[in-house]
Amino acid sequence: MPTLSRARSILRRKLNIHGSRIYSGSDALNGIILKSNANQDVPRSEFTLLCSHNATVNDGQVLIDADTRKFVPLMVDRPNLHDDSIYTRGYLRLVNASGSFYRYHDQVSASKDLWGRDTGTEGTDYGWVAEKNSVWVSFENMGLKAPIEPIGQVEKAVCNLFVPWSINASLTPVSEDRFMEKDGTEWRVEDVDLHTYENQAYWCRISRDER
pLDDT digits (tens, 9 = 90+) for 171-210: 999 999 999 999 999 999 999 999 999 999 999 999 988 7
- pLDDT of amino acid 20: 85
Q: What percent of the chain has pLDDT over 70?
A: 67
Residue 151 has pLDDT above 70, yes or no: no
According to the model, what pLDDT value does residue 4 have?
Answer: 47
Predicted pLDDT at 36:
82
Q: CA–CA separation, 97 vs 36, rounded Å?
A: 20
Same domain for 202 and 103: yes
Pair 36, 65 in one domain? yes
Task: Tell me the pLDDT band of 156, cut-offs 50, 70 and 90.
Answer: low
Count: domains in the chain: 2
Residues 150 and 78 in one domain: no
Q: Do 112 and 174 fall into the same domain?
A: yes
What is the domain range of residue 50? 4-94
Based on the domain organization, do 136 and 203 belong to the same domain? yes
What is the C-alpha to C-alpha distance for residues 86 and 55, in angstroms, rounded to an integer? 11
How large is the average pLDDT for residues 20-37? 89
CA 166-169-175 angle, 5° bins: 85
| Domain CATH number, residue 127 | 2.40.10
Same domain, yes or no, for 23 and 104? no
At 80 the three-state DSSP class reads: coil
Strands (E), 140-209: 143-144, 157-164, 178-181, 186-193, 201-208
Contact between 86 and 59 under an 8 Å Cβ cutoff? The reply is no
Summarize pLDDT for 71-119 with one digit per residue, the tens: 999 999 988 766 556 788 999 999 999 999 999 877 665 566 666 665 6
Q: Three-state DSSP class for 112? A: strand
Query: What is residue 93's predicted lDDT score, i.e. its pLDDT?
Result: 95
pLDDT at 127: 80
Per-residue pLDDT band for 22 (boundaries 50, 70, 90) equals very high
Are 88 and 101 members of one domain?
no
- Among 94, 126, 142, identify where a domain stops: 94
* 117 and 50 in a common domain: no
pLDDT of amino acid 79: 81
pTM over 0.85: no
Domain shared by 81 and 113, yes or no: no
Q: Looking at 94, 113, 138, which one is the last position of a domain?
A: 94
pLDDT(52) > 90:
no
Greatest mean pLDDT range, 92-96, 119-123, 125-129: 92-96
* Rounded Cα distance, 177 and 130, in Å: 10
Out of 94, 129, 150, a domain closes at 94
Within 8 A by CB and 6+ apart from 122, the residues are none
Pair (61, 112) in one structural domain: no
Q: What is the mean pLDDT of the chain?
A: 81
Where does 87-164 show beta strands of DSSP type E? 87-94, 97-105, 127-139, 143-144, 157-164
| Residues 138 and 56 placed together within one structural domain of the fold | no
Q: Are residues 48 and 117 in the same domain?
A: no
pLDDT of residue 35: 85
**pLDDT attached to residue 206:** 93
